[in-house]
């Protein structure tokens, strides 16, 4: 009041009365305390009160075209909360009661009006209006809570009978706003009675309860306290927390499931900070690689698994990656798969998950070996069985040609044609046998076998196929050579059968650290975004072979621009190396 200038609307139709009230108001405090605005009629007062902001209104009761009381009631009906003091020429208990009922802040007689009385009435009206405004704000906030959130506020008497009830917290139980007024809480929701009873004895109680209704379990957080204002009963509220309880139960269930996986399976999971250092690790570990969860804490993950080093920066910046790391320990090979992704929840660091796939890789190796052995058996059967029979047929046809040369030259020519066809079939069967059973690979090594493969492709398919090499010959296990040979075979097969290629180039690029085998063709190609044709069975097999040897396979192709298949690998020297997916 001392610092604020109050803007007052004085509605007075009489000039003399206006001057009188203005003089009393001027004497009620220091200069400049009040900013007085006059409206000289009922209509002007109504328009001014609705159009401009005022802190207080002083209305004369007799306005000629209406009364101050009528003006107050009309303003209230229009939603105005302006505090109003009514002035009249004489006291009237009837008018006093009507003014109070209409919401007037005070009722004063002009005849007895003094500066002190008017200042006090203005001060009380202003304080009351401020208090009511805060109360209205609180009520609006409470209304917003109880009408939009699953909350119920209640007031009960000493027997637990509900006197007041607001909110939606018990709607799931079939009780809507006000439904339980006049009914006892002990009877309607007995699960709450123990907590409420303590509050009714003068204390307070906060608790969580579960209420069963029609086979459904509902959970509530409750708070009750003794009603000190009334000297008895209790007030409190209930919050429906069923969704939270269910979410927590689901989280616990998932945590138990994850804990069981981490405890009983050869996996490890955890988090790394912004520098890639392991801050959390759980799981039974990756035994073949001797990577225990507790041993990872505090270490840089990229130092434990070097193939992650070039990818860590992009992951910590918001990406993800997956690598297959292969190595050997005590003459035994091991393989693990590690997935790493940015921690979206904390917006920093990353989450990793690793699993031991040694047994799966071994099984894949055994399946691929069995496939290769079967191909070798078929190749041997072609060479030793069908090949020998075709050779015998060619010899018999040649002998028959000689015997018929003198007797029937025409029949001799037919026998010669049979001999020629048999010899062509022999060459084709030998080429097929070499593809199925690459003897060249076992006897003379990988590079010689690739040169022979290119020659056989030219002979079988009548297309241009070349093998070129740059760098030293890779020194590696014979099993690696066999998988690489099969990858090249499959790539060439796809180029001829699906791409209609007329030229194929096989390139081996090698150095001391890594090697790359590339099969490129000039065939029809395809859209890589839609995947290759024939359901990608051959591509999946090539990827499996690349993974088994710890390499990575990449495929590039465009419609009308051919296809390029490349496999990159390193020599296994006991250190981990990677295969990317």
For the CA atoms of 147, 153, 155, 156, what is the dihedral angle to 10 degrees? 110
Place of tokens 């109050």: 6
- Domain 149-245 carries which CATH code? 3.30.450.20
Q: What angle do CA 163, 165, 168 make, to 5 degrees?
A: 165
- Please state the rounded mean pLDDT for residues 354-377: 67
Phi, psi (deg, nearest 5) at residue 554: -125, 150
Question: Which DSSP string corresponds to 94-136?
Answer: HHHHHHHHHT-SEEEESTT--HHHHHHHHHHHHHHHHHHHHHH
Say which CATH class 446-581 falls into: alpha beta
Check residues 199 and 374 and name the one with the higher pLDDT: 199
Report whether 185 contacts 224 (CB < 8 A).
no
Question: Given this model, what pLDDT does residue 194 score?
Answer: 82
Angle of CA points 387, 392, 394, to nearest 5°: 95
Q: Which residues contact 571 (CB under 8 A, 6 or more apart)?
A: 474, 475, 476, 515
Closest Cα to residue 89, out of 108, 110, 107? Answer: 110
> In Å, how far are 141, 168, 222, 383 from 148, measured between CA atoms?
11, 8, 18, 84
Mean pLDDT of 40-65: 91
Give the residue-averaged pLDDT of 253-280: 84
CA distance 492 to 505: 9
Smallest CA-to-CA distance from 265 within 337, 211, 168, 162 is with 337
Contact status, residue 539 vs residue 546, Cβ threshold 8 Å: no
Checking if the pLDDT of 307 tops 90, the result is no
Q: For residues 204 and 396, which has the higher predicted lDDT (pLDDT)? A: 204
Instruction: Give the C-alpha separation, 170 to 236, whole Å.
Output: 13
267-348: same fold as 6-144? no
Q: What is the pLDDT of residue 534?
A: 45
| Local structure of 141: helix, strand or coil | helix
* In the predicted structure, residue 384 carries a pLDDT above the cut 60: no
- pLDDT value of residue 432: 62
Q: Which of 240-244, 389-393, 400-404, 521-525 has the lowest mean pLDDT?
A: 389-393
Instruction: Show me where the domains of the chain are located.
Output: 6-144, 149-245, 267-348, 357-437, 446-581
Distance of CA 482 to the CA centre of its chain: 43
- Write down the pLDDT at residue 373: 61
Report DSSP state, residue 243.
Answer: H
| Per-residue pLDDT at 1 | 44
Is residue 72 within 8 A of residue 84, CB to CB? The reply is: yes
Task: Say if residue 371's pLDDT is above 70.
Answer: no
Tens of pLDDT, residue by residue over 236-249, are 989 999 988 988 88
pLDDT surpasses 70 at 311: yes
**Residue 408 pLDDT > 70:** yes
pLDDT class of 366 with cuts at 50, 70, 90: low
Q: How would you classify the pairing of strands 162-167 and 151-156?
A: antiparallel
Phi, psi of 105 (to 5 degrees): -75, -30
Mean pLDDT of 336-350: 89
> Is the pLDDT higher at 377 or at 419?
419
Task: Say what the pLDDT of residue 445 is.
Answer: 84
Rounded Cα–Cα distance for residues 119 and 27 (Å): 9
CA–CA separation, 363 and 79 (whole Å): 81
How many residues would you count in the chain? Answer: 581
Token digits of residue 458: 């030219």
pLDDT band (50, 70, 90) for residue 277: very high
Fold type of domain 6-144? Rossmann fold (3.40.50)
**CATH code, 267-348:** 3.30.450
Q: Please report which confidence band the pLDDT of residue 93 belongs to, taking 50, 70 and 90 as the band edges.
A: confident
CB 11 within 8 A of CB 58: yes
Q: What pLDDT score was predicted for residue 428?
A: 66
Residue 58 in this model has a pLDDT that exceeds 90 = yes
Res. 362: pLDDT tops 80:
no
Residue 425: other Cβ atoms inside 10 A = 17
Least reliable range by pLDDT among 115-124, 189-198, 282-291? 282-291
Q: How far is CA 118 from CA 84, 134, 439, in A?
A: 12, 24, 119
What's the rounded Cα separation, in Å, for the pair 567 and 295?
A: 34
The DSSP symbol for 528 reads G
Report the percent of the chain where pLDDT is more than 90: 22
What is the tens place of the pLDDT at every residue in 127-171? 888 888 888 787 777 777 777 788 888 999 999 899 998 888 888
Cβ-contact 277, 307 below 8 angstroms: no
What does pTM read for this prediction? 0.44
Q: Which structure tokens are listed for 263?
A: 């405890």
Predicted local distance difference test score (pLDDT) of residue 419: 77
pLDDT, position 374: 61
Strand partners, 336: 325, 356
Render pLDDT for 507-524 as a digit per residue (tens, 0 to 9). Answer: 999 887 789 999 999 998
Residue 404: the pLDDT is: 79
Average model confidence (pLDDT) across the chain: 83
- Cα distance between residue 199 and residue 157, in whole Å: 11
- What percent of the residues of the chain are helix, what percent strand, and what percent coil, each to the nearest 5? 50, 25, 25
349 pLDDT above the threshold of 80: yes
Using alpha carbons, select from 234, 137, 150 the residue that is nearest to residue 192. Answer: 234
What tokens does 184 get?
Answer: 């006892």
In this prediction, residue 431 has a pLDDT band, given cuts at 50, 70 and 90, of: low
């Amino acid at each position: 009041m001392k610092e604020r200038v109050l803007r007052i609307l004085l509605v007075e139709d009489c000039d003399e009365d206006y001057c009188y009230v203005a003089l009393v108001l001027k004497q009620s405090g220091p200069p400049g305390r009040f900013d007085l605005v006059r409206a000289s009629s009922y209509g002007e007062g109504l328009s001014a009160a609705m159009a401009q902001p005022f802190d207080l209104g002083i209305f004369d009761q007799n306005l000629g075209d209406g009364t101050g009381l009528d003006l107050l009631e009309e303003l209230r009906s229009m939603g105005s909360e302006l505090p109003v003091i009514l002035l009249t020429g004489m006291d009237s208990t009837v008018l006093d009661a009507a003014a109070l009922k209409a919401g007037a802040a005070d009722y004063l007689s002009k005849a007895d009006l003094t500066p002190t009385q008017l200042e006090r009435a203005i001060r009380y009206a202003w304080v009351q209006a401020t208090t009511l405004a805060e109360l209205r704000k609180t009520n609006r906030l409470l209304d917003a809570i109880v009408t939009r959130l699953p909350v119920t506020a209640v007031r009960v008497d000493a027997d637990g009978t509900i006197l007041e009830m607001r909110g939606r917290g018990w709607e799931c139980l079939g009780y809507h706003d006000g439904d339980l007024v006049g009914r006892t809480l002990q009877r309607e929701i007995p699960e709450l009675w123990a907590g409420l009873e303590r509050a009714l004895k003068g204390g307070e109680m906060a608790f969580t309860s579960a209420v069963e209704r029609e086979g459904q379990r509902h959970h509530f957080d409750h708070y009750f306290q003794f009603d000190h204002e009334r000297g008895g009963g209790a007030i409190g509220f209930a919050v429906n927390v069923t969704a939270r309880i269910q979410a927590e139960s689901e989280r616990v269930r998932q945590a138990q499931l994850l804990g069981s996986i981490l405890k009983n399976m050869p996996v490890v999971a955890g988090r790394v900070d912004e520098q890639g250092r392991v801050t959390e690790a759980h799981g039974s570990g990756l035994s073949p690689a001797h990577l225990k969860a507790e041993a990872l804490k505090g270490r840089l993950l990229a130092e434990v698994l070097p193939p992650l080093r070039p990818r860590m920066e992009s992951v910590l910046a918001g990406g993800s990656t997956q690598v297959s790391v292969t190595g050997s320990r005590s003459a035994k090979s091991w393989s693990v798969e590690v997935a790493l992704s940015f921690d979206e929840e904390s917006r920093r660091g990353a989450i990793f998950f690793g699993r031991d796939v040694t047994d799966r890789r071994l099984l894949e190796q055994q399946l691929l070996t069995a496939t290769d052995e079967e191909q070798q058996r078929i190749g041997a059967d072609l060479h030793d069985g069908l090949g020998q029979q075709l050779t015998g047929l060619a010899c018999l046809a040649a002998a028959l040609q000689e015997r018929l040369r003198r007797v029937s030259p025409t029949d001799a020519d037919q026998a010669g044609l049979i001999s020629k066809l048999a010899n062509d079939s022999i060459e084709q069967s030998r080429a097929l046998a070499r593809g199925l059973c690459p003897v060249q690979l076992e006897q003379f090594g990988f590079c010689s076998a690739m040169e022979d493969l290119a020659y056989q492709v030219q002979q079988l398919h009548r297309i241009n196929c070349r093998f070129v090499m740059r760098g030293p010959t890779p020194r590696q296990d014979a099993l690696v050579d066999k998988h690489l040979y099969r990858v090249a075979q499959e790539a060439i097969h796809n180029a001829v059968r699906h791409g209609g290629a007329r030229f194929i180039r096989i390139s081996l690029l090698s150095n001391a650290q890594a090697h790359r085998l590339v099969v490129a063709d000039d065939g029809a190609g395809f859209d890589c975004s839609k995947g290759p044709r024939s359901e990608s069975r051959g591509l999946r097999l090539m990827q499996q072979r690349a993974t088994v040897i710890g390499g990575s396979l990449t495929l590039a192709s465009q419609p009308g621009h051919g296809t390029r298949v490349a496999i990159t690998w390193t020599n296994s020297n006991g250190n981990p190396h990677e295969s990317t997916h």
